[in-house]
Structure 1
């Protein structure tokens, strides 16, 4: 396994993780329609990226597996949510949203760095197929980061000054 394969594997895992987290946030904040709908759309992008990476990995050698088809937040996540409500340890919804957005931003930033590493390797090795994959997917990852950053900028002043 070479370095490009390692980055493909890490990025595949990162996109799957981001898709899962975006879906979880969309469900957790389903009463905030913008967050629910945008996070759902962005999760679709990450699932698509993971599938394209799996297809690329299959062509190149490392078997990355297929992304999970279950797009629900999962039983464990639902149990945690209910337990937090029952125990009364749940933070203010806006503060929870701010934390969720921070975590999403960091996950998208990590994926963006992997996309950049992949782009540099594709350019160095003159791998046009890999460069086409990066060119198609990386801009969407940057858009995911811009959305989380904008939401954090808009929410932070009100949420943090009202505590």
Structure 2
């Protein structure tokens, strides 16, 4: 395995992890409508990144899985929905939300580093497909980072000083 395939694999893993976390955050914070809806929209971006990475990975001999289009259902989704309702009624629901936003931010930061590495490798290898992929997806990842950071800045003062 060469450096490009290692980076594609690591980036795919990072996007899958971020997608799972975005899905969980959207479910856990259903009562926070902005969080719920934006996290769901950002989840679609990470799923799209995974699909594009899987397509590009095939050209490099990788077999990367493609995320399902189906939303989470069943017992886990029901448990998350009940937990969201319970947390929404507690006086300190902000602390778990801040923790979740921190995790989303850090996941997006890690992915951003890999997108930058992939873009640089694509330029060095004169591989337009890699540079085009990074040019499309990296700005979205930067937007995911900015959103999580902005929400932390917005919520932290209120949450942390009200304890």
TM-score normalised by structure 2 residue count: 0.88
**C-alpha RMSD of the superposition:** 2.3
Counterpart of 2:34 in structure 1 is 34
Moved more, 17-26 or 66-75: 66-75
Q: 1:59-97 deviations in whole A, cap 9, x for unaligned? A: 2211112224443287557658868x99xxx89211110
Contact 1:27 1:73 in 2 (8 A): no
SS in 2 for 1:134: helix
Q: In 2, Cα distance between the equivalents of 1:98 and 1:47?
A: 23
Contact 1:18 1:107 in 2 (8 A): yes
Counterpart of 1:133 in structure 2 is 133
Q: Count matched residues.
A: 160
Q: In 2, Cα distance between the equivalents of 1:70 and 1:34?
A: 21
Structure 2 counterparts to residues 7-156 of structure 1, below 5 A: 7-72=7-72, 75=75, 92-156=92-156
Q: In 2, Cα distance between the equivalents of 1:80 and 1:31?
A: 11
Q: 1:10-54 deviations in whole A, cap 9, x for unaligned? A: 111111111111011011111111101100000000000000000
Q: 1:42 to 1:80 in 2, by over 3 A?
A: closer
Question: Tell me, which stretches of 5 or more residues in structure 1 are unaligned?
Answer: none
TM-score normalised by structure 1 residue count: 0.88
Question: Tell me, which stretches of 5 or more residues in structure 2 are unaligned?
Answer: none
